[in-house]
Amino acid sequence: MRTAGDQVTHQVRLGETWRDVYQFHLHPPPPIDFELGNWFSCTHPRAMFVNNLVVTRVEPTGRLALFNHDFTRRKLDGSTVTSHVKSPAELDELLAGAFGLHLPVGPPIKIPAAPWPD
């Protein structure tokens, strides 16, 4: 993390290199910024979170990320391993095992941007 005045830059270490990820200011934004952003990201028909399955988890050894059918493990040394989730049953198993998410019994998760093959 770097600071300059009221600006903070969040960084992540990839291997031996620190990379800037995002920046923010220390002064609070107006509440409408949160309201509008949250409303748009969960209601607009083309919004990323309406059309894609996105799950992440930070662990002591790195980060887990699921985007639609692609599951990635990022280790602290910067290396990554990605696998493809092939079925709704495999997705349920991955969500429970890697993320600790246990879904109720029911129809499989529908992912508008990445439907399951018939």
Locate the domains of the chain by residue range.
1-51, 53-103
Whether 12 has a pLDDT exceeding 90, the answer reads no
**22, two tokens:** 């995002």
Q: How far apart are CA 65 and CA 95, in angstroms?
A: 11
80 in Cβ contact with 93 (< 8 Å): no
pLDDT at residue number 51: 94
28 pLDDT above the threshold of 70: yes
Res 102: pLDDT: 94
Helix (H, G, I), strand (E, B), or coil: what is residue 54? strand
Comparing CA positions, the residue from 12, 37, 35 lying closest to residue 22 is: 12
Give me the pLDDT at residue 1, please. Answer: 62
Query: Rounded to 5 degrees, what are φ and ψ at 96?
Result: -70, -50
pTM over 0.75: no
